[in-house]
Amino acid sequence: MKRLTLLFALLITTALGASAQIEDPVSWAFGSKKISSTEAVVYLKATIEDGWHVYSQNVKPGGPIKTTIKFAPSKEFSKVGVTAEPKAITKYEKTFAMNVSYFENEVVFSQKVKLVKGQALVKGTIEFMTCNDRKCLPPSEVPFSVQVK
């Protein structure tokens, strides 16, 4: 009888755990556009669900995890300048006791690259944190890979 009760409890726990939803309010898309035979722009677009936001690359220490975009070293391309972002919303957040910059709905980060042979496979990772007015999710890291032709 003890075994049956234990088995039943395990099945219930497993079923409840499987039905719990994992929140993932940000989806990413990647692309590129050649601007000359030796240069291109790589685009990293976040689509953010209503009520959520993603932080800027320019958040001061002591605040939330800022968005960090890392490009994998490659002999096929080199970065030109820094990764650009649009003007962010900046507001005081009580949770962090400071002004923070963030994006709602969507944001497109862009990085100009110089191509060695006119094409390249641009890879890297994006680390970001997303919050709403009630909670913050743990930072996520998303890999990206963009073929530039």
pLDDT attached to residue 94? 87
Q: CA nearest 147: which of 74, 93, 58, 67? A: 74
The whole-model pTM stands at: 0.84
Q: Is the sign of the CA dihedral 5, 7, 9, 11 positive or negative?
A: negative
Instruction: Provide φ and ψ at 94, rounded to 5°.
Output: -60, -35
Average pLDDT estimate for 94-117: 96
Average pLDDT estimate for 5-17: 38
Strands 130-131 and 39-48, sheet pairing: unpaired
Assign domain 24-148 to its CATH superfamily.
Thiol:disulfide interchange protein DsbD, N-terminal domain (2.60.40.1250)
Percent of the chain with pLDDT over 90: 81
If one compares 19 and 113, the residue with the highest pLDDT of the two is 113
